[in-house]
Structure 1
């Protein structure tokens, strides 16, 4: 049985995308990207919304110019080895990029619990819209917020309205670009991480 984690890169004012839907400012580099590579070794399954799934298809094959760094090669290898679930009512099976991937038209709590129960390691749910119901239901065990030094003033909030969470800080770190990791665990979550 796995655990459920939610990871979000957010602005200082709590947004995962700005009012125009842009999140290019969340792209990691340097030691922050290396941290993501190391972190991905404990993830066994990714649950993603359509936009994030399509964005992450970038990691299926290296660009023709061969420009990936060693860290990017390692991240791509880890990404390609993951089991992934895309959540979308508009995608079709033909849109999936790997036979390891599966498609759900909607993510309900029972379906997500089954994914977590079947997983070995951490199931990471990525994206505030996709994670919203699980966060509100108190299913998420681990929260990793990568906070970038930027205020965007509005947009897509990282946490759903009305969510009440009792969390304890288990890790924090500041990266070379000024971004900070705040890693929290739900107080009543198993101490397996």
Structure 2
């Protein structure tokens, strides 16, 4: 049975994007990037909301991973391309090979089915998608980078109310901390 994991890199004040919609503050140090690679390597599938999918797809399938790119990024690009990807969107009409398009109204039923059929982590990316699948999420992984940005898009939108229990904590040499939570 699959396990649904929602994880993102955040500022220490809990934002995944700054007030301008940029994720530039979240570019991870090499040690954090390597940990993300190790986690991604275990993923059975990536589940993306449209915006995060659009931020990830072209760079990791076409641009990064070329010669001259740092080894840790080339490694992630390879993992990314080899992992099945699902994008949940009502606006996209087509997606490339290796990506499955799912309409938002089908999100709960599709992820429920994937959770039953696929053995391994199903990694959610994007807070709106995470909120729509909140009851299906088994673990929350927060990797807080050592930066405060003051405003932007939160890890989970306001109004989310969950009681969690930390089960793993890691501090990186670069100053980032990652905490893995399960439902309390």
The TM-score with structure 2 as length reference comes to: 0.90
Cross-structure match for 1:78: 79
The TM-score with structure 1 as length reference comes to: 0.86
**Residues 1:27 and 2:24 aligned together:** no
Cross-structure match for 1:122: 121
Contact 1:2 1:122 in 2 (8 A): yes
**Residues 1:151 and 2:148 aligned together:** yes
Distance 1:33 1:63, change over 3 A: closer
Structure 2 counterparts to residues 92-171 of structure 1, below 5 A: 92-93=93-94, 96-97=95-96, 99-106=97-104, 108-135=107-134, 138-171=135-168
Point out the more displaced range, 101-110 or 41-50: 101-110
Distance 1:25 1:112, change over 3 A: same
- Listed one character per residue, the Cα deviations across residues 87-131 of structure 1 (whole Å, up to 9, x for unaligned) are 1222111xx23x221112315322221222222210001011111
Distance 1:63 1:124, change over 3 A: closer
Distance 1:83 1:158, change over 3 A: same
Structure 1 unmatched ranges of 5 or more: 188-193
Q: How far does residue 177 in structure 1 lie from its aligned partner after superposition?
A: 2.4
Q: How far does residue 83 in structure 1 lie from its aligned partner after superposition?
A: 0.9
- Listed one character per residue, the Cα deviations across residues 53-74 of structure 1 (whole Å, up to 9, x for unaligned) are 1221211135596122332222
Contact 1:11 1:152 in 2 (8 A): yes
Residues matched between the structures, number: 182
Distance 1:61 1:170, change over 3 A: same
Structure 2 unmatched ranges of 5 or more: none
Moved over 4 A (4+): 62-65
Aligned counterparts of 1:83 and 1:117: Cα–Cα separation in 2: 16
Q: How far does residue 176 in structure 1 lie from its aligned partner after superposition?
A: 2.7
Aligned counterparts of 2:4 and 2:122: Cα–Cα separation in 1: 5
Contact 1:44 1:83 in 2 (8 A): yes
Aligned counterparts of 2:65 and 2:143: Cα–Cα separation in 1: 30
